[in-house]
A and B are shown apart, each in its own frame.
Chain A
Amino acid sequence: NAGVMQNPRHLVRRRGQEARLRCSPMKGHSHVYWYRQLPEEGLKFMVYLQKENIIDESGMPKERFSAEFPKEGPSILRIQQVVRGDSAAYFCASSPLHSSSDGYTFGSGTRLTVV
């Protein structure tokens, strides 16, 4: 496991469909963070998870968005009934416990396009 793996790299969904974005953290990393980058904007925090726990979801829209990080398997960011405004690049990052020396390791992102 060379790094944080996100898939798919590109996802196209029609309005009203569901989008599921997956993130496998680096080996040994127990913290997962999801960020969203809207066109021409910076990265916005969405949610912070540890295994089987949501620690902070203060950046998540109240409706249609959910995230999980199960005991086994990748973290999933789920967007129900997508709208055009959900089109963005979604980045996942992971970190070891209480790491702050060099921040996170980011994945390459999933670019969601809603048509």
Chain B
Amino acid sequence: DQQVKQNSPSLSVQEGRISILNCDYTNSMFDYFLWYKKYPAEGPTFLISISSIKDKNEDGRFTVFLNKSAKHLSLHIVPSQPGDSAVYFCAASVTNNAGNMLTFGGGTRLMVKP
């Protein structure tokens, strides 16, 4: 049972345009959502997060939107740059006293063309 899904395995965008990466989840207990970026042969690096009490969080060129009723979140990158080319993972967690295990989606490979 895949609780976090990224239905687009890949996305190609022209430099300067907007990149929109989507993520759906099924577990209504998730209360924290994160996006990670991963380059080949490296570990994932944290990009941006959002709490379930918010519907938008912005950090520079990156904005995450959360639609709780639809159990959907998206990452917007604008303007897209060639250096943004990487695999992006959506992740979700249930905050509890025992820790914060993350459940990851399958990833979306973003290619930004110059």
Contact = CB atoms under 8 A, between A and B. Distances in A.
Interface string B71-86: 0000000000000000
Interface centre among B44, B95, B98 (most CB of A within 10 A): B44
Interface in A72-113: 91, 93, 95, 98-109, 111
Interface stretch (A12-20, A43-51, A62-70): A43-51
Contacts of A111: 41
A56 B98 contact: yes
B100 interface: yes
Interface in B1-48: 6, 32, 34, 36, 41-46
A4 interface: yes
Given A45-B101, A100-B32, A106-B44, 14 more contacts: A6-B43, A31-B99, A41-B106, A42-B107, A43-B44, A44-B104, A50-B99, A55-B99, A56-B98, A56-B101, A95-B99, A103-B34, A103-B49, A108-B42
Interface of B: 6, 32, 34, 36, 41-46, 49, 89, 91, 93, 95, 97-107
